[in-house]
Every structure is written in structure tokens, then in C-alpha cells.
Amino acid sequence: MTDLSTLISGDQDFWLAELPNYQRHSISEMLRSGKTYEQVAASWLNSSIADGTAPFGTSATRGLFFEKVVDELHDFLCVGISYENERSQIISGFKTGQAGLVATITAAISPHLDSAPSFLAPAVAVLLCAISKIGLGAWCRVQTERRAQETNQQLTVTDETSSTGDQSPQ
């Protein structure tokens, strides 16, 4: 038996090795240009969202999708409630290497994001590079704090709106 923090280790080449050549080369090029792992993952996801598909707030949608991917990855790796079965299967006897781990994670989270696993896999692999650099425990704590702050900010905005009686224009 192992735990996820043991499985999420290795360098960039380890996580990117199993991606198709065109994905690996694009991602490697972005990393060589000085982008962080998070920037590369966001760029990968954003490059596939066409400019003309969401005429109202496309740029906000792009950032929001990356955040949703990170949130689902956090739920999968750290929280354990939403993905308890998948996590227990991995922990009880995972033997398929980094490609299998990326595939398992993307297959689990893709329905929650209404996206294809093949589209998400490069972003997940790059994010796993980042996680393996700082450690799973540290990454989970950072993401938990980020999400708590976002929730508190949303509550504050909602409370201010409801207490002042502001409503959307009709």
C-alpha cells in the first residue's frame, strides 16, 4: 500500500514523457520560454477555447476554467470525499506509472468539467510537475487556503449586496 504523496514525485521529464509528441513539444517550448507550470497549464487550456464561442466575457471564462481544473485536481488529490473510490483504488495498488496516474485523474475529473480527458491530460501532467516540486502536502494546503479565501470573498460580496438591498437592474 502506498499514498498519493509517494506517487506524485519525479521531475518534469517524468511527468511529460508519456504525452503525445505534439503536446510534449508545445509544453516544453512554453516551459523553456520561462513560464511557470501553472502558466503553462493555463495556456494549454486557454489555447483551445475559441475567441468567438463566448461573446460575453470570454477572457473571464478562460481563467475560470483553469481555476475549475485546479479545484477538481485539489478535490481529487487532497479532499478525498468527491473522489474517494478513485483515490482508494490508486492507493491500494497503483502500478501503471505516471501515464496511468494522469489518465486515472483526468478520467475521474473530466465529467465534472464537461471536458474530454485527452484535452485535460497535458494540463494535469504539467500541474503534477508543479505539485511534485513543492510536495503534495504543501500544494494541498496552499489550494485549501486559496479556496477558503475565495469563498470568504464571495460571501462578503453576497453579504454586502444583500444588506444594501442592491439588485440587478431590471
CB of 139 within 8 A of CB of 131? yes
Where is average pLDDT lowest: 73-87, 92-106, 154-168? 154-168
CA pair distance 27, 136, nearest whole angstrom = 22
Pairwise CA distance, residues 124 & 15, whole Å: 9
Determine the average pLDDT of the residues in 107-136: 92
pLDDT (0 to 100) of residue 35: 95
pLDDT at 170: 44
Q: Which amino acid is at 117?
A: P
- pLDDT reported for residue 157: 62
Instruction: Print the SS3 string covering 25-77.
Output: HHHHHHHHCCCCHHHHHHHHHHHCCCHHHCCCCHHHHHHHHHHHHHHHHHHHH
Residue ranges per structural domain of the chain: 4-150
167 — pLDDT class (breaks 50, 70, 90) = low
Match 485527452 to its residue by C-alpha cell.
118
pLDDT of residue 161: 55
DSSP three-state, residue 162: helix
- Give residue-wise pLDDT tens across range 12-67: 888 888 889 999 999 999 999 999 999 999 999 987 654 444 433 334 555 788 99
Please compute the mean of the pLDDT values over residues 101-118 and round it to a whole number.
90
Residues 96-122 have a mean pLDDT of: 87
Average pLDDT, rounded, for the chain: 80
| pLDDT above 50: residue 140 | yes
DSSP character string of 90-109: HHHH--SHHHHHHHHHHHHH
| Structure confidence at residue 159 (pLDDT) | 60
Rounded Cα gap, residues 170 and 168, in angstroms: 6
Provide mean pLDDT across the span 106-126.
Answer: 92
| pTM recorded for the entire structure | 0.76
Question: Tell me: the pLDDT tens digits for 117-129?
Answer: 999 999 999 999 9
Q: What per-residue confidence (pLDDT) applies to 54? A: 44
> Cα angle vertex 51, ends 46, 52, to 5°?
145
